[in-house]
Amino acid sequence: VPYDSRYYEASMKASVETMIGPAKASFTARGGLPFSTKNEYYYNNYSGSSYSGGDHDGKVKGFNVGADAWFRLPLNTSLVLPFLVKFDYKKLNRKAEGQGMGGWDDYYERHTYQDKSLAITAGGGIDYTPVKDTKVAGGLYYTYLKNTTDFTYMYTNYPNVGSYWNRYDH
């Protein structure tokens, strides 16, 4: 489903770090909200020998949250084992309203487009410092990703029906 969204996002982040014996642990929480949003949805249908379409304007609303936890266990002065657990979740609603289907003045349409995304990462690695100011690092991390899109299209004052809507969930 095509859309054209523009928005800024206000983000916040807070971190805390502590020592647990010889190991260093840190936790970061973050979040954000869209502002100064604009969403446009334009479509053009061709059926038989005629065209119809709509031009809709609206806003974007939603939020995102996330957190990560690092645990760094030193084995000696030059070798450290880092471990990470991280998650991020984002939900955006895109709404738009406007006149549609050209020829019907009383034909009104509205659509809602919702995106949800979840990412969870876990893993660990190794940091090696062979000489001062030189670090070699590597790791193995697994990320689980899930994205969901829901699209609802509503017609009000639809000819001979009153109202009608379609819903598409993925």
Prediction pTM value: 0.79
Among 84, 85, 86, 83, residue whose Cα is nearest residue 66 = 86
What local confidence, expressed as pLDDT, does residue 45 receive?
Answer: 66
Output 158 or 125, whichever has higher pLDDT.
125
Average pLDDT over residues 25-51: 83
Output 15 or 152, whichever has higher pLDDT.
15
What local confidence, expressed as pLDDT, does residue 101 receive?
Answer: 59
Average pLDDT over residues 127-132: 93
Output 110 or 33, whichever has higher pLDDT.
33
Output 105 or 10, whichever has higher pLDDT.
10
- The C-alpha R_g of the chain, in whole angstroms, comes to 25
Average pLDDT over residues 93-121: 72
Distances (CA, A) of 30 to 76, 109, 131, 142, 156: 32, 36, 35, 21, 40
Answer for the pair 31, 14: CB distance below 8 angstroms, yes or no.
Answer: no
Q: Residue 104: is its pLDDT beyond 50?
A: no
Average pLDDT, the chain: 84
- What number of other Cβ atoms are within 10 A of residue 155's Cβ? 21
